[in-house]
Amino acid sequence: MNSSFGGRLKEIRRTFRLSQHEFGALGGVATNAQGKYENDSRQPRSGYLVAIWRRGVDVLYVLTGERTASSAYPLVESEIALVENYRRLNPTDQRTVSMILSTLLIDSQ
């Protein structure tokens, strides 16, 4: 476990497989600000933390080093888009997508 805020933030960014530029964009900040956060030379504002939390980052872990139960599998950008699109479907189409996914999983085994 990383002992500093910046170290944990960098760890999370790498888990998401994003560059500083890409991760900073998730939080609405420039690349240099993201780098300063990761080097512990600057602390982010609350808006940044809310923005990355909305993208699946366990902000409690970043702040304290303690993980929340729901953070075991953080989502990457493509997975977030998939969930958002699924939620826009009507219930019938959601069931269809679930059946297709189940079929694909069975076929891949």
Higher pLDDT pick, 15 / 47 = 47
pLDDT tens track for 92-107:
999 999 999 999 999 8
Q: What is the C-alpha to C-alpha distance for residues 68 and 72, in angstroms, rounded to an integer? A: 8
Out of 32-36, 44-48, 69-73, 80-84, pick the least confident: 69-73
Residues 22, 26, 28, 33, CA torsion sign: negative
Q: What is the C-alpha to C-alpha distance for residues 101 and 82, in angstroms, rounded to an integer? A: 12
What percent of the chain is predicted at pLDDT more than 70? Answer: 94
Domains plus CATH for the chain?
5-71 (1.10.260.40), 77-107 (no CATH)
Q: Does the pLDDT at position 48 exceed 90?
A: yes
Mean pLDDT of 53-80: 82
